[in-house]
Structure 1
Amino acid sequence: MVADVSAAPHAPAKRRSKRGPAVWVAMYHSVSECPDDPYNVTVTPACLDRQLGWMSDRGLRGVSMRELLAARARGTERGLVGLTFDDGYADFTSCALPVLYRWGFTATVFVLPGRLGGENGWEPLGPRKPLLDVAGIHRAAAAGMEIASHGMTHLDLTKVTDEVLHSEVHDSRHLLASITGTDIGGFCYPYGYLDERVAAAVRLAGYRYACAITPGPEGCGDFALPRIHVGTADTPARLALKRRLARLFGRTVEAV
């Protein structure tokens, strides 16, 4: 579930003079044929295929956040689009992976290790959808996808105690590392909500970056990377418009 502010009437962001192009990050959730979608978090496999095809036709390549940030550090990020899938739905492996493979793209999957094999209980409306289990995480990682944390259980971290915040941020990273056998470098704020306390906790937990929706409090930098929500209504024309508007409204990952 996400607080989608893609179309919110924000004032244009002040442009920073930096080297190289600004790149954008697409925020997906569930990929399935489910028509009951009150939160606009589902795209069909055919829709995802058209959207990724649109990117490819324009010389763009979808990559994980890990790959995107590594390319940015080298100054080779031109032509890349970050692809992220929030909540760790089980349909990622059955429906999204085949489409990503067809286009030769990678992505980051933000999973909830406190709900492995469970369902999307944080959404009061809409259908119950299964979440990735350990086997699903292994399959996604084996396919070259980045596994990253979405917290333990999908809470609004700005409203929890320091003890719960530590568990959601710190414990989720270590649990995912034990499952994958690799370091977990990325975090994603549930609902896109963060403040200075939450961003600081993520940084102290050892993550290298965190994804939000808007840039977040001043000075967060890579610990509040903005993204563009992509839904089933996003035709190629709408994607082209979102791409043009992304930098104007401060929704891109700036060069370093």
Structure 2
Amino acid sequence: MAMYHSVTDCPDDPYRITVTPDRLERQLRWLAVRGVRGVSMAELLAARARGEGRRLAGLTFDDGYADFVDHALPVLRRLDFGATLFVLPGRLGGDNAWDPLGPRKPLLTADGIRQAARAGIEVGSHGLTHIDLTAADDLRLKAEVVESRAVLEDLLEAPVEGFCYPYGTLDRRTVEAVRSAGYRYACAIDPGPLTGPLALPRVHVGQNDDAVRLFLKYRLHRLRRRPVEGL
């Protein structure tokens, strides 16, 4: 499962969260020529539940940057790939204010999120405002997990099944909050012993990941990821 963020031309990228549209296309074509198709997390998990999915790769895009619709979506369409977009309904039309060192990047509006969904992109929650959930009190944690889902379901008029932990930080309390909110799955980065359907590991993919680096990340991720029960 691959984790992307912003897709645009951005030379000022201290957090290494940006890939150019050209690099994204080359990375995804690297999968395609090997017979691997990029899909949403919902499609990947459904295939795994059927004992299938060996030639599928889950593609995720965190934070809901406006450049997803402008730059990532056309690449996905050209390749007939799917993806999951994790958005912040508490910051619709805002920017990435949680990144103090990086340039301000606009986030999708409600209309932009609907546009992505109409194009077949799965939309999931990244919380309301992108805070470290492990540092939130119980009331704030519930708001970030429960209210974000309710806002998105109202916006999309469709169920929202997936969650993504901001910063990839989680603990047993946050996982239980996600479970209690009714999400079917949740994505992390490297959740260690908490790995499971509500703490799925992913590999960060950045601008410097060429064919060799992608191959190594793919192999190392498969070696280190312990099996997830039921998937």
* TM-score, length-scaled by structure 2: 0.97
Larger helix fraction of residues = 2
Q: In structure 1, how many angstroms separate the alpha carbons of the residues matched to 2:166 and 2:193?
A: 16
The answer to whether the aligner puts 1:124 opposite 2:100 as a matched pair is yes
Does the 8 Å CA contact 2:170/2:191 hold for their aligned counterparts?
no
Of residues 118, 123, 133 in structure 2, which corresponds to 1:147? 123
Q: In structure 2, how many angstroms separate the alpha carbons of the residues matched to 1:223 and 1:126?
A: 30
Does the 8 Å CA contact 2:162/2:186 hold for their aligned counterparts?
yes
- The change in CA–CA distance for 1:236 and 1:145 in structure 2 (over 3 A counts) is same
The answer to whether the aligner puts 1:206 opposite 2:182 as a matched pair is yes
Q: Indicate the SS of the match to 1:191.
A: helix
Cα distance, 1:247 vs structure 2: 1.9
Of residues 120, 137, 148 in structure 2, which corresponds to 1:161? 137
For residues 13-162 of structure 1, what are the structure 2 equivalents within 5 Å?
Answer: 25-162=1-138
Does the 8 Å CA contact 2:164/2:186 hold for their aligned counterparts?
yes
Counterpart residue identity of residue 64, structure 2:
G
Q: In structure 2, how many angstroms separate the alpha carbons of the residues matched to 1:227 and 1:253?
A: 13
Does the 8 Å CA contact 1:195/1:216 hold for their aligned counterparts?
no
Cα distance, 1:215 vs structure 2: 3.0
Which residue of structure 2 lines up, in the alignment, with residue 225 of structure 1? 200
Unaligned runs of 5+ in 2: none
Higher relative contact order (CA 8 A, sep 6+): 1
Unaligned runs of 5+ in 1: 1-24
Q: Indicate the SS of the match to 1:222.
A: coil
Q: In structure 2, how many angstroms separate the alpha carbons of the residues matched to 1:51 and 1:241?
A: 13
Does the 8 Å CA contact 1:152/1:168 hold for their aligned counterparts?
yes
Of residues 219, 224, 228 in structure 2, which corresponds to 1:249? 224
Q: In structure 2, how many angstroms separate the alpha carbons of the residues matched to 1:62 and 1:96?
A: 13
Q: In structure 1, how many angstroms separate the alpha carbons of the residues matched to 2:193 and 2:157?
A: 33
Of residues 191, 209, 213 in structure 2, which corresponds to 1:234? 209
Cα distance, 1:251 vs structure 2: 7.2
* TM-score, length-scaled by structure 1: 0.88
Counterpart residue identity of residue 225, structure 2:
G
